[in-house]
Structure 1
Amino acid sequence: MRVLVAVDSFKGSLSSLEAGKAVKEGIKDLCDEVIVKPVADGGEGSVEALADALGGTYVDAIVQNPLGEKIPARYALAGDLGILEMASASGLTLIEPSRRNPMKTSTYGFGQMILHAIHKGAKKFIIGIGGSATNDAGTGMLSALGYEFYDENGNLLEGIGKNLIKITRISEANVLPELKECEFLIACDVDNPLFGKNGAAYIYGPQKGADENMVKELDAGLISFASATSEHFSSEFWNFKGAGAAGGLGFGFVSYLNAKLKSGIDIITEEIRLEDEIKKADLVITGEGRMDYQSAMGKTPIGVAKIAKKHNKPVIAIAGCVKEEARNCNQKGIDAFFSILNEPMTLNEAIDENITRENIRLVCEQLIRLYKL
């Protein structure tokens, strides 16, 4: 029997590769072949999963956090492929709650990451943009790459949320020439437009520190910036699905860098050629740290199961925590799912990497024994 293991990370415990290896350790003596493929959905842990799957190396860079303070940020390179997470430089968790203010935060540091990767030879990018602290429509990132934004008096503007409404002129005179050779594939699993009641400011602004007045100002700024961008490029991407992702960063990527926005799990499974391995498998084992209502909405296990069911392959999922709503996953391609917890324990014990590893090994061994009856 040939088993394919494609498990997402158990956050706080094991990476995707480590979890996959734990599954393999538990079942290898009961199977003819076990193949482990690190996988993720474009969110946290995606850089690590892709780097492991593609044999990439990690690169560290000093960049600015959303408030302009210097911090280290890490990305991965696999040949000329750059694998980045926006949150490493411009993420919400980088700023204490009391300092969060999307009028003042910027994606400039994330642009510095891209610049650093280009100088290291990257020409193709896979980028996760979830978890931003910003609402600058990508103007900070674009400024780091050489775009310049001016107000009506000819003053150069910093790429931050409060300046969006002031932008009247855009200059490409100093844009990095290498950008023309770059391809950007953006992992995006939201379909919000740039502005309006379902746009970046109204939907995501409050969690980034915006009060009611800030939300209105930011939304007006996004409308104004969309108009200035449309006039400059003769394009209209403000209503594009995902334009409002990451505080309008989706709009910035599509409008200025000709990026493609796509489901994170689809990007990653295609890049690691997961379907080729699924075709050859007799059984697929997937999973993640917690299975709940979000899992059924298209997170990693469902993405894996979707491919498996195209080829009529059975799918079993494991998780550290299984909520009642996870039963919806049974209608989305997962034939059965199981918790790896076998006895009462504290949360700290449950997320201990050694305990998690042993729990995965033990449960998966018994799953295969049952499956082979």
Structure 2
Amino acid sequence: MTRRQILVCLDKFRGSATAVQACRWLAEGIRQAVPALPVREAPVADGGEGTVAAFRAAGYRTVPVRVSGPTGEPVAAELAVLGNRAVVELAQASGLHLLPGGRTEPLTASTHGTGELLRAALDLGCREIVLAVGGSATTDGGAGLLRALGARLLDARGGELPPGGAALADLNAIDLTGLDPRLRDTRLVLASDVDNPLLGPDGAAVVFGPQKGADADQVALLEHALTRFARVLARRSGTDLSDRPGAGAAGGAGLAALVLGARREAGAQVLLTELGLDTALAEAGLVVVGEGCLDAQSLRGKAPIGIADRAHRVGVPVAAVAGRLEVRLAELAAHGIESAHSLAERAGSDRIAMAETRRLLHETGAELARRFG
């Protein structure tokens, strides 16, 4: 394999293309323009929606599982499994996109289904589990996740709390003695590019609650409830984990993972290592990165920028493709990105870019191929 290979590493274009589709469509445009040009497709994700699909593309098999959705209704989900290693994508069980009719349930949505996915991985004999978080509908501190694995959350009368973050305001005690004993022999990784703590101005309720439909009063209630949850957990375990980086990820599900002994790793880096990106870079003459919107959040280490940084370190040029570009090229250049291509700019509007993503990626791929070839 020569270094003239183009390595296509796109994340999802939310609402118009999965990561797998985006990579395929761009690669089709490259191949149609310059058929002799080698192209490798490596769809990526940063821990949210599409993570299991990205691992499937990396050689994992998928296992279907029926679990509880964020409001308790059954949903179809998948695990990615390779040997005794599994990848659990929180969004498949507790994702915002799973709420019926597009409604939001910021006070009552639960991560119980994510705990069911973890239990399913244990049932398959997996003892290395990556919990990829992102895109959640929940702000329950991972309470539902813990309950699905055997924990009990009790009010002052000894009764079980109802699901959701708001109910944690009435928490009096947590019983962890019933946690699945297999967890003690399991290596758990919290894959998250979010480093927010659980509480405070940078915490789960304040920063992410509004994204899940919480108004100002509901954010205040959730902050109070999560504070109560953290205090009771700290009293139970003897250690306060609420200020650890990543504790606030996925509405506080990160805290539950840390309670279970998880080690936090950047979601994008977990996938890039699994994809064997360093080997792929050694064979590449150009890397194409991108996602639906390249913005300031992307620059904080999301998958496209993580890949660009690694390519830049080994001297491989990088091009970026996005539905929308909301950062200056000078900012991207600091990460080794030499050119950037906006589908919205090519189409003339966001609406056309969303409706005609495949055509626009074909055209962009052809343009890159002619420049590179």
Identify whether the pair has TM-score above 0.5, normalized to the shorter chain.
yes
Letter in 2 for 1:35: R
- Shift in alpha-carbon separation, 1:165–1:346, aligned structure 2, 3 A: closer
Could you tell me how far 1:134 is from its partner in structure 2? 2.0
Superposed displacement of residue 335, structure 1: 0.9
- What is the DSSP-based 3-state SS (H/G/I as helix, E as strand, rest coil) of the residue aligned with 1:223? helix
1:169 to 162, 173, 185: 173
Percent of aligned pairs with the same amino acid:
36
Q: By how many angstroms is 1:340 displaced?
A: 5.3
- The reply to whether residue 20 of structure 1 matches residue 23 of structure 2 is yes
TM-score after normalising by structure 1: 0.87
CA shift, 1:32, in A, is: 6.0
Letter in 1 for 2:337: I
Task: Give, as a single letter, the amino acid of the residue that structure 1 aligns with 2:71.
Answer: L
3-state SS of paired residue (2:337)? coil
Offset of 1:46 from its aligned partner? 1.8
Name the CA distance, whole Å, in 2 between partners of 1:214 and 1:23: 42
Letter in 1 for 2:273: E
| Aligned mates of 1:105, 1:18 — CA distance in 2 | 30
- Judged with a 3 Å threshold, the aligned counterparts in structure 2 of structure 1 residues 286 and 195 are, in CA distance, closer, same or farther, namely closer
Following superposition, the deviation at residue 343 of structure 1 comes to: 6.5
Per the alignment, residue 62 of structure 1 pairs with: 66
Rounded to whole Å, the distance in 1 between the matches of 2:345 and 2:231 is 57
- 2: CA distance between counterparts of 1:43 and 1:312? 29
Distance 1:293 1:231 in 2: 38
In the other structure, the counterpart of 1:86 is: 90
1:316-352 CA distance string (max 9 Å, x none): 2223444464552122221112245796577676445
1:116 maps to 2:120: yes
Q: 1:284 — aligned with what?
A: 287
The residue that corresponds to 2:76 in the other structure is: 72
Aligned residues of 1:140 and 1:158 also touching (Cα < 8 A): no
- Correspondence 1:91-102 to 2 at 5 A: 91-95=95-99, 100-102=104-106
Q: Does 1:366 align with 2:367?
A: yes
Gaps of 5+ in 2: none
Question: What is the letter of the counterpart of residue 222 of structure 2?
Answer: L
1 CA distance for matches of 2:28 and 2:101? Answer: 41
Deviates more, 1:340-349 or 1:166-175: 340-349
Asked whether the 8 Å contact 1:86–1:127 carries over to 2, the reply is: yes
Q: Quick check: 1:296–1:326 contact (8 Å CA) kept in 2?
A: no
**Aligned residue pairs, count:** 368
Q: Structure 1 residue 357: deviation in Å? A: 4.1
Q: 1:272 aligns with which of 270, 275, 278?
A: 275
Is this contact kept in 1: 2:83–2:126, CA < 8 A? yes
Q: Is the 8 A contact 2:49 2:92 kept in 1?
A: no
Instruction: Give, in whole Å, the separation in 2 of the partners of 1:192 and 1:237.
Output: 12
Alignment of 1:182-261 (within 5 A): 182-255=186-259, 257-261=260-264
Aligned counterpart, 2:143? 139
SS at match of 1:335: strand
For 2:160 and 2:343, how far apart are their aligned partners in 1? 56
1 CA distance for matches of 2:229 and 2:343?
49
Residue type at the aligned position of 1:94: L
Structure 1 position 369, deviation (Å): 2.8
Change (3 A) 1:6 1:208: closer
Distance 1:357 1:145, change over 3 A: same
Cα RMSD (Å): 2.8
Cα distance in 1 between the residues matched to 2:68 and 2:54: 25
Whether contact under 8 Å (1:188, 1:263) holds in the other structure is yes
TM-score computed with the length of structure 2 as normaliser: 0.87
Mapped partners of 1:217, 1:362: distance in 2: 49
Distance 1:276 1:207, change over 3 A: same
Quick one: structure 1 residues 368 and 100, their matched pair in 2 at CA, closer, same or farther if it must change by over 3 Å? closer
User: How far is 1:249 from its partner?
Assistant: 1.1
Distance 2:220 2:26 in 1: 49
Q: For each residue in 1:41-92, what CA deviation from the matched residue of structure 2 results, as whole angstroms up to 9, or x when unmatched?
A: 2222222112111x22333322222222223233332333322221222222
Match in the other structure for 2:45: 40
Instruction: Give the 3 Å change call, closer, same or farther, for CA 366–99 of structure 1 in structure 2.
Output: closer
Residue identity opposite 1:242 in structure 2: G
Q: Which moved more, 1:97-106 or 1:277-286?
A: 97-106
Instruction: Tell me how far apart the structure 1 counterparts of residues 149 and 231 of structure 2 sit (CA, whole Å).
Output: 21
CA 1:135–1:348 in 2, change beyond 3 Å: closer, same or farther? closer
The CA distance in 1 between the partners of 2:349 and 2:195, in whole Å, is 38
Residues 68 and 341 of structure 1: is their aligned pair in 2 closer, same or farther, counting only changes over 3 Å? Answer: closer
From 327, 332, 336, give the equivalent of 2:335.
332
Query: Structure 1 residues 346, 111: CA separation in 2 closer, same or farther (over 3 Å shift)?
Result: same
Q: State the distance in 2 between where 1:311 and 1:344 align.
A: 34
Supply the distance in 1 between the matched residues of 2:146 and 2:104 (Cα, whole angstroms).
21
| Structure-2 separation of matches of 1:343 and 1:32 | 24
- Provide, for residues 14-39 of structure 1, a one-character-per-residue CA deviation record: whole Å limited to 9, x for no partner: 43334334444444546564333222
SS across alignment from 2:71: coil
Distance verdict in 2 for CA 1:285–1:140, change over 3 Å: same
For residue 67 of structure 1, give the secondary structure of its aligned residue in structure 2. Answer: coil
